[in-house]
Structure 1
Amino acid sequence: MPGKRFKRLLGAALLGSALLAGVQAFAATLVVGDQSFNNRTVMEAAGVLADLPYTLEWKQFTAGSPVAEALNTGSLDVGLLGDAPPLFLGALGAPIKVIGVSTQNLDGVAILVRKDSPIRSLADLRGKNAAIWKGSWSQQLLFTALERAGVSPDEVQLRYLGALDAAHALEGGAVDVIATWEPYVTQQVRNGARILTTAEGLIPAQSFVVATDKAIADKRELLGDFLRRLQQAREWVRQDPANSEKYADTWAELTRAERDIARRWFSGAAIRVRPIDDQTVAEAQKTVDFFSRIGLIKGYPAGSLFDASFNRYLQSPPAQAAR
């Protein structure tokens, strides 16, 4: 009968469309910018990529600025990096959006001095040499802490060094103080350095998951699925100290870092991937306002850089976990 034939043809067409969609999803590729294998390692260790219906093409970088530049030029679909580089791009109207936020224990961003240093407070930094990285958590933390202590940055001799070079400069006595992040905080403290202050109560030190406008238009479901799996991997680390150790050991072996440093860092990092909320945007605005105030970027409404539509892929954290 014509009706039955039509139903059979319709069913075959629908099945074919579903199979085609599945093949297209499997054939699709998401190009991801990572830093020093951090996110790739945690996702692989947690096993969240086992049933991935598309391909992840990982590109590894040593810092956030080149990740941001790769996003700006369109050579990545999505990148994982600290807040400052994408916020700088936002000031230029770059074709990117923040689709997720990552937070951590703020003890992992700190101002350090040598163990035998006579410096005991931030006020003691007047006239001293400090190593920071311009346009980063490092600069924001040092300047904010100095302001809180009533010290002008002009009263400190600044040297602009990357995190690794700053660590060596502190150890060798070339500078009196550094403002840095993990794993350098853990490494320096293990080697005897003292923490003057952490980022807690001073700067947000957020990290962002950033996608290009083109990827959002063409690969929305892939981006959402990637976000969901990344969140699951970070929660897996938090569930059990043994999971944290597995992650740390895998990362240390891959990057040839010291296993003890990695274990100490990851056990206390408490990294969470979270939906975008009003607090996220408000803290981003503080960072934009800070860098605008010191003349590095032009101020703008930070909220214009965020796409909260991806929140539907993420679980909201428990209320007590909010910072």
Structure 2
Amino acid sequence: MLRKTLVGLTLGLLAATQTLATTLVVGDQSYNTRTVMEAAGVLDDLPYQLDWKQFTAGSPVAEALNVGSLDLGLLGDAPPLFLGALGAPIKVVGISRQSLDGVAVLVLGDSSIRSLADLQGKTVAIWKGSWSQQLALSALDRAGVPRDRVSFRYLNALDASHALEGGSVDAIATWEPYVTQAQRHGARVLTTAEDLIPAQSFVVASQRALDDAAKHRAIGDFLQRLQRARTWANADPAHTARYARAWAERTRADAAIAQAWFARARTSIGPVTPAAIAQAQRTVDFFAGEGLVKGYDASRLFYDGFGTSLAPLAQTAQR
């Protein structure tokens, strides 16, 4: 009995030592995840090292995961779903949700466009292979507006915002923080992503990291800490404000816009679920229909091994 106890203690100490020596390389976008975790104080006493890599968009995060230079990445659904069609060695290990009010089709406040039907004969800025394209086309289809009656300009989110302000396009389909920024300058919402597209975000791990026992444990721990941080940020307006100030200071952004964005988004993190996989399949099928990706069974891209580590997403975050 004593021998078994000593062996168990030795194995436990060995696992702890391996974890302490582990470095988890995490791909973040514009310091958002790092800032909320630091503001919430959940990165204290980490049993492993964190090496943050910052990106300005989701596609390079996905590519870094694909080539193995990241262990974990946080990004929107389209880039990893596109890579999934190619059999990339990555897995979605967590689901991030935000208010779908922050993904919207916008026009200027004084525009004569009052409905989606009014977009006929107009120019709309979208970005291929993104929520922007999926929202704009899904909204037109639901409204019965023929796609060939609308002109599209393919602009990234920042350029699209400038084009709307400058009057070179009539409407844009975009996401946060550009929705909040535009609304603060008087832009109007024609429609949001509500009941139109899933607009999920993913926490994605490289297969190599998942196959490493120490990194697997570290990923599970990281997800729990991230969930606590998001819960903290949503629990009190003062917490949201602290998070917004810290992020704005780090990125030199407008703190008021950041606070309005974070308060509306109420971003939360939860486990992989059948519902999340089904919504991912909808997105794959949409882009396959546009000829941008080969259709496939999206479930093969998901790993639900951290389901016991994460509490289910709150109903309010699943809008």
Q: Sort the TM-score into its range (normalised by shorter chain).
A: over 0.9
1:245 aligns with 2:241: yes
Task: Report the counterpart of residue 256 of structure 2 in structure 1.
Answer: 260
Larger radius of gyration: 1
Specify which of 147, 157, 160 is matched with residue 151 of structure 2. 157
Q: Distance in 1 between matches of 2:242 and 2:211?
A: 36
Task: Report the counterpart of residue 117 of structure 2 in structure 1.
Answer: 123
1:203 aligns with 2:179: no
What is the one-letter code of the residue matched to 1:237?
A: A
Q: Distance in 1 between matches of 2:109 and 2:103?
A: 18
Task: Report the counterpart of residue 269 of structure 1 in structure 2.
Answer: 265
Task: Compute the displacement of 1:20 (Å).
Answer: 3.8
What is the one-letter code of the residue matched to 2:157?
A: A
Specify which of 274, 281, 284 is matched with residue 278 of structure 1. 274
Task: Compute the displacement of 1:26 (Å).
Answer: 1.3
Classify the secondary structure of the residue corresponding to 1:295: coil
TM-score for the superposition, normalised by structure 1: 0.94
Correspondence list, 1:3-42, <5 A? 17-42=11-36
Task: Compute the displacement of 1:154 (Å).
Answer: 2.1
- Where structure 1 has 5 or more consecutive residues not aligned to the other structure, the ranges are none
Classify the secondary structure of the residue corresponding to 2:307: helix
Q: Distance in 2 between matches of 1:319 and 1:144?
A: 24
Task: Report the counterpart of residue 173 of structure 2 in structure 1.
Answer: 179
1:67 aligns with 2:61: yes
Query: Which one is further off, 249-258 or 302-311?
Result: 302-311
Specify which of 217, 220, 236 is matched with residue 221 of structure 1. 217
Q: Distance in 2 between matches of 1:233 and 1:102?
A: 13
Give the direction of change, closer, same or farther, for the CA distance of 1:210–1:259 in structure 2 (3 Å limit).
Answer: same
Q: Deviations over 1:13-52 (max 9, x none)?
A: 6655544432321111001011010101000100110011
- Where structure 2 has 5 or more consecutive residues not aligned to the other structure, the ranges are none
Identity %: 64
Q: Distance in 2 between matches of 1:318 and 1:92?
A: 33
Specify which of 204, 227, 230 is matched with residue 226 of structure 2. 230
Classify the secondary structure of the residue corresponding to 1:310: coil
Give the direction of change, closer, same or farther, for the CA distance of 1:144–1:31 in structure 2 (3 Å limit).
Answer: same
Task: Compute the displacement of 1:189 (Å).
Answer: 0.2
What is the one-letter code of the residue matched to 1:287?
A: T
Q: Distance in 2 between matches of 1:58 and 1:133?
A: 27
Give the direction of change, closer, same or farther, for the CA distance of 1:260–1:321 in structure 2 (3 Å limit).
Answer: closer
Q: Distance in 2 between matches of 1:313 and 1:15?
A: 23
Task: Report the counterpart of residue 308 of structure 1 in structure 2.
Answer: 304
Task: Report the counterpart of residue 137 of structure 1 in structure 2.
Answer: 131
Q: Deviations over 1:107-139 (max 9, x none)?
A: 000000011111111111112111111100000
Q: CA RMSD in A?
A: 1.6
Task: Report the counterpart of residue 52 of structure 1 in structure 2.
Answer: 46
Q: Distance in 2 between matches of 1:202 and 1:320?
A: 17
